[in-house]
Structure 1
Amino acid sequence: MPLSEQEQRLLDEMERQLMQNDADVVQAGGRRALSYRNMVIGALLVVVGLGAIVGGIALWGTAAVAGVIVGVIGFAAMVGGVVLALTPGKGVDEAPAARGPRSPRTPGGSSNESFMDRMNDRWDRRQQGE
């Protein structure tokens, strides 16, 4: 069932207000795509760190100081692995304006662009009167 003219006008007004009020949130969010390479290396660091912690516990009975040192190094490796795994790859967090103008797209959209990219393109075309 299509919206009445008044409902459509109200919806458009609500969208405009939302975009004006949340423009700084939308721009600050950016894209955050994780790097596969960073995730793999980070996971390996977590596993090595976990092994070092277990090794530190095993050393605890014979040399307590060495066990503590190995455990702390293992914990630091685990934390570093998690941080590395959650770090985006190079050039991924680039702002859309810095990438240059968008090329015209087909109405159906490309299969490699996200749903939100297509919706943003539709919104931009509507605001430009196309």
Structure 2
Amino acid sequence: MPLSEEELRLLEQMERALVAEDPKLASTLRGTRLRQRARRQVVIGAVGFVLGLGALMAGVVLPMVAVGIVGFLLMLGSAYLALSSWRARDAAAAAPSAPEDPGPLRVIRGGKAHRGRAARAPKRGTSHGSMMERFEERWRRRREGGNGF
């Protein structure tokens, strides 16, 4: 259930008050440490990938299949760690960090204005709107006795 415009406004005011009262806590909540942790995990993932590549090559050059398999698995795990941390770092970097910004809360469309627009059904005979809106319109007409087809 989306928040009303009044509730969104109150949340934004509370966040601004928090930033004004305790900027250190606000920056901690915004994810400054998350960026540092993600950066560290990207570096660890890259180093692990290089070590896994070395183990894979050693397994190929030496007749040791187990070393090659372990190297491949290390490469795979390190690549996953690095890429997932890279995405988290980008997401944390995209979050606003200036105290005058409203912070990590985003405006979600909702309330009376949004409901009124979504409740309007497309006119009969038009192909506008999403598939779900067309199904809802047919269902509504069927319930009213208009056959819906």
Does the alignment reach a TM-score above 0.5?
no
Larger Rg: 2
Q: Compare the two structures and name the one with the higher helix fraction.
A: 2
**TM-score, reference length from structure 1:** 0.39
